[in-house]
Amino acid sequence: MSSEIKLFSGTNSNYLAEKIAKSYGKPLGALTISKFSDGEISPSFNESVRGCDVFLIQSTNPSADNILELMLMIDAAKRASASKVVAVIPYYGYARQDRKDKPRVSIAAKLIANILTSAGADRVITCDLHAGQIQGFFDIPLDHLNGSAIFVPYLQSLQLSELTFAAPDVGGVGRARSYAKHFEVEMVVCDKHRKRANEIASMQVIGDVEGKDIILVDDMIDTAGTICKAAAIIKEKGARSVRAIATHAVLSGNAYENIENSVLEELVVTDTIPLKRPSEKIKVLTVADLFAKAIKAVTDHDSISSLFI
């Protein structure tokens, strides 16, 4: 006999969890997240989860309270005798710290994977990790969804005649190439050099962009400095239009001002992270159906490969 499925949401992702639950066809379970006066988090399930497959939906974008809240939810579910606990993490934070790129630094992406496992997660479902090899940091099953399932139909609807994809940096070549291969078009690369984090010293474009409708492809947008600089240089070199797609809209610092003052026609993101404020240049697509289908595939023991484009 299969276990009962129950979906719960952390504080940070309730807006998205409600849409995922609606798409899945099951209401969110009753969960209370209370805080002591000093800020200590205390989650408690208001219904039995004994013997259930529990899906906990929570992105781990700042602040770090979101990560701790997720861990406490996992621990509470395990101690309440849940059969399985699946952490549904639309945005996996700290993924940029995936290696030692200089001496004496943490590999935070691995640490978060360890903490999730130690807390008692049996499985993780996430989307567009900053680096695909982070999947190898986990000793539990991880389903890595791809934002292309959301972006490809939208890009097709634009019917751009001179479509060309661009990687905003060398690290994003693989993502841009996969889109270019699917659409059977060309791609270009923006090669950047940084002096320090979030500060670009120089950038150049490798490839022909003249008269093209350029789509910059990235997994996340933080300060938007790289994307906006890349868009400006591409436009200067004769591109007809420049748009950008990115799964995770972190949008910190002067990101909104950078985007609104840029040459970008639009920035298309998903709702793995909620926008801090609306912007005429930012279009949001939902990942709710994608995650609902992934949860259903996991519960039915089906392959998730059908969700990939």
93-132, pLDDT tens digit by residue?
999 999 998 999 999 999 999 999 999 999 999 999 999 8
Taking each helix axis as running N to C, give the angle between helix 14-24 and helix 288-299, from 0 to 180 degrees, rounded to the nearest 10.
60
Q: How many domains does the chain have?
A: 2
**pLDDT band at residue 62 under the 50/70/90 scheme:** confident
Q: Within this chain, do residues 125 and 212 fall inside the same structural domain, yes or no?
A: no
The answer to pTM > 0.85 is yes
Residues 50 and 172 in one domain: no
Catalytic residue among 19, 35, 110, 192: 192
Report helix angle 108-119 to 65-79, nearest 10: 20
Residues 170 and 294 in one domain: no
> Mind listing the pLDDT tens digit for each residue in 141-198?
999 999 999 999 999 999 999 999 999 988 889 999 999 999 999 999 998 766 666 5
Q: Does residue 27 sit in the same domain as residue 136? A: yes
Q: Do 134 and 179 share a structural domain? A: no
Q: What is the CATH number of the domain that holds 81?
A: 3.40.50.2020
Same domain, 233 and 108: no
Domain that holds residue 41: 5-146+288-307
Q: Say whether both 274 and 303 belong to one domain.
A: no
Q: How many Å is the maximal CA-CA distance in the chain?
A: 63
Known catalytic residue at 212? no
pLDDT averaged over every residue in the chain: 94
pLDDT tens digits along 202-254: 788 999 999 999 999 999 999 999 899 999 999 999 999 999 999 999 999 99
Q: Which residues contact 50 (CB under 8 A, 6 or more apart)?
A: 80, 81, 82
> Which pair of structure tokens corresponds to residue 274?
């909620």
